[in-house]
Structure 1
Amino acid sequence: MKIGELARETGVSIRLLRYYEEQGLLASRRLPSGHRRYGADAPETVRRIRVLLAAGLPTRVIRDVLPCVRGAGLDPCVSEHLRAQLDGLDGRIAALQETRASLAALVASTERTAA
């Protein structure tokens, strides 16, 4: 499958497909002309990459967990990676909530002063 065909089938731009390949997420073989050819499993691989990206995983983590993705399910080998990402996200959310509370207090104090 040519890169343009893969882009059309998956709805992912050619530029992104090249990026996935650079990041080690997607494999192709090169023809003597230099053109990329993707295997029959490439569309499913791209769909898996998109699902993992939508879950907020960075490409470096996706590269590690992608071999453990089976169809719509995940093998237990990804649990540690996913737990670490979830813990990090929880930490960022907690920090944002603290920042929001501080900002809300500042806004409230300026509104009381203006009144």
Structure 2
Amino acid sequence: MLIGELAEATGVPARLLRYYEQQGLLRPERTGHGYREYPDCAVVRVQQIRGLLDAGLPTRIIRPLLPLLERSANGLVRPADLPQDVVGQLAEEAARLRERVARLSRDLESIELVLSAVPPRRDP
């Protein structure tokens, strides 16, 4: 399938698909005319990339995880299969996400405190 077809199948803009290629997350073949051509399994790969990005992982961590996910029968990576450097990167990322969650929780509490002090609005 061509890049426009993959974009339509996944809901991911072609611009992002080209970015994923630059980051080494997707590797399309090239047709004789230079067009990117993706296998059908690229749809699943893009969905995995989107899920990992949505979870907050950067592409530098996603890159080594994708081959492990490909070999997995159930879409999960076995901890024993993770290279030690990836384990360290995941630990750092988990710590960063915990800090972010704590900061967001504090921000939410502040907003809720302000909102609780505002009297209800009465529309005429």
Output aligned runs, 1:64-79, within 5 Å.
64-69=64-69, 70=72, 71-76=74-79, 77=82
Residue 39 (structure 1) aligns with: 39
Shift of 1:92: 4.5
Out of 96, 99, 105, the position equivalent to 1:88 is 96
2:97 counterpart letter in structure 1? L
How many angstroms apart in 1 are the aligned matches of 2:4 and 2:105? 43
How many angstroms apart in 1 are the aligned matches of 2:7 and 2:40? 13
1:23 counterpart letter in structure 2? Q
- Corresponding residue SS for 2:4: helix
1:67 counterpart letter in structure 2? P
How many angstroms apart in 2 are the aligned matches of 1:29 and 1:94? 43
TM-score normalised over the length of structure 2: 0.69
Residue 62 (structure 1) aligns with: 62
Identity in percent: 46
2:6 counterpart letter in structure 1? L
Residue 16 (structure 1) aligns with: 16
Gaps of 5+ in 2: 108-124
Gaps of 5+ in 1: 101-115
Query: Which of the pair is proportionally richer in helix?
Result: 1
Runs of 4+ residues over 3 Å off in structure 1? 91-98
Residue 108 (structure 1) aligns with: none
Shift of 1:85: 1.1
TM-score normalised over the length of structure 1: 0.74
CA RMSD of aligned residues (A): 2.4
